[in-house]
Amino acid sequence: MQKPAQSVTSDMFDGQPSMLPEQQRLTEGAMLLSGFARDTDQQLIAALNDVIVQAPFRHMTTPGGFVMSVAMTNCGQAGWVTDSQGYRYQALDPQSGLTWPAMPKVLSDIATLAALKAGYAHFLPDACLVNCYEPGARMSLHQDKNEQDAAAPIVSVSLGLPAVFLFGSLQRSDRPQRLRLEHGDVVVWGGPARFNFHGVAPLADGYHVVLGRKRINLTFRKAL
């Protein structure tokens, strides 16, 4: 028997839940906004390419002497850096001695909108850390605590290959939630979740139609 048109439409969405934007509360103060940045992906990537020309990705060294598997750069008034001196924000890119590239408006706009959607009005980031993961790259559990403004949330935009994001609590020893983050997904954490531990499991190999064998993550912060 022929199906009514209505059911054909819903079948088209079946198996593709990512076509339907959804939000998921992770804990008090933290929200996953699935697909929130998907429609803006081309503009975001074009703006990022301009940033990367001025401040290329590089593998920084932790204060303990380990080279990070994630390659990083920044845009905005301040950029997050790590070296033998420690973790900090600074106005100058240590590689070029120049200021970090300005934060493109398309980037700060998506961060402001995502924060608003998650319940944080008037979020104006002054720093955006850009992380580039290749297969095998990971980020161990940590808290974001080098920022001056603890009242502002962190907004994280994921592009390219999917990753398993580990989202814990205020205690490192608590088992983190494991969330699959896909191209265009945004996570916002602030308020009581602002200092929750988080990290990224080793990136599985794959090929993404837009970014190839890579995942790029942008974290927007109010650092100054």
Chain positions contacting ligand SIN, by CB under 6 A: 129, 131, 139, 156, 165, 198, 200, 217, 219
186 interacts with, out of Fe ion, ligand SIN, none, CB within 5 to 8 A per kind: none
Strand order from edge to edge, sheet including 139-142: 139-142, 198-200, 163-167, 177-181
Residue whose CB is less far from Fe ion, 36 or 189 = 189
CB atoms within 10 A of CB 33: 22
Record the tokens describing residue 20, joined without a space: 């339907």
188 interacts with, out of Fe ion, ligand SIN, none, CB within 5 to 8 A per kind: none
Residue whose CB is less far from Fe ion, 39 or 149 = 149
Residue 154 backbone class (left: φ over 0; alpha: ψ -120 to 50; beta: rest): beta
CB of 82 to Fe ion, least distance (A): 12
CB of 72 to ligand SIN, least distance (A): 9
Give contact residues for Fe ion (rule: CB under 5 A): 144
CB of 133 to Fe ion, least distance (A): 13
* Cα separations in angstroms, 216 against 28, 49, 52, 120: 26, 12, 12, 24
